[in-house]
């Protein structure tokens, strides 16, 4: 295993994912970690990409955004994605920083991804780093 972290980022909401990626990358660089970044078409595909690469990295960071619409789809994608990411972390005993936003509207996502506000990419990176120590 190399000493890198894999960032798996859903780029469905480009502005949000770009902000989350910046917060994550800046934090990893501040702490001296190497990383690779791959994109997923949506959050639901993130667990597949983590599992596909599980033996190649010492940790992972999942990034994305799910915004509630008018149907139950929001709950299904949010719940199943987070559940599978937790399952992978426990099954393979590997840290996975969780930076997937689950918001009721775009404004909430903008605030939670803003690098000058509550950037959850930074928080996910810090969680992964702490678990690796």
How do residues 1-43 score in pLDDT, each as one tens digit?
Answer: 457 999 999 999 999 999 999 999 999 999 999 999 999 999 9
Distance of CA 111 to the CA centre of its chain: 16
Number of domains making up the chain: 1
pTM for this predicted structure = 0.96
Q: Distances from the Cα of 63 to the Cαs of 19, 58, 71, 79, 128, in angstroms? A: 10, 17, 23, 15, 12
CA separation for the pair 52, 36 (Å, rounded):
14
Segments forming the whole domain that contains residue 16? 4-132
Whether the Cβ atoms of residue 82 and residue 98 lie closer than 8 Å to each other: yes
The active-site residue, picked from 34, 38, 56, 73, is: 73
73 as an active site residue: the answer is yes
CA separation for the pair 46, 9 (Å, rounded):
7
How do residues 52-76 score in pLDDT, each as one tens digit?
Answer: 999 999 999 999 999 999 999 999 9
Q: What is the CATH number of the domain that holds 59?
A: 3.40.50.960
Beta-carbon contacts of residue 29 (< 8 Å; ≥ 6 apart): none
């Amino acid at each position: 295993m190399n000493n890198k972290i894999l960032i798996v980022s859903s780029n469905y909401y480009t502005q949000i994912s770009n902000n989350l990626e910046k917060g994550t990358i800046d934090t990893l660089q501040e702490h001296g970690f190497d990383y690779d970044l791959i994109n997923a078409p949506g959050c639901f595909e993130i667990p597949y990409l983590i599992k596909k690469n599980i033996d190649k990295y010492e940790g992972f960071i999942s990034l994305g955004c799910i915004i509630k619409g008018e149907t139950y789809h929001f709950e299904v994608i949010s719940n199943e994605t987070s559940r599978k990411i937790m399952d992978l972390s426990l099954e393979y005993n590997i840290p996975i920083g969780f930076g997937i936003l689950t918001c009721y509207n775009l404004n909430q996502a903008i605030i939670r991804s803003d690098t000058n506000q509550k950037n959850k990419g930074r928080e996910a990176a810090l969680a992964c780093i702490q678990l690796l120590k």
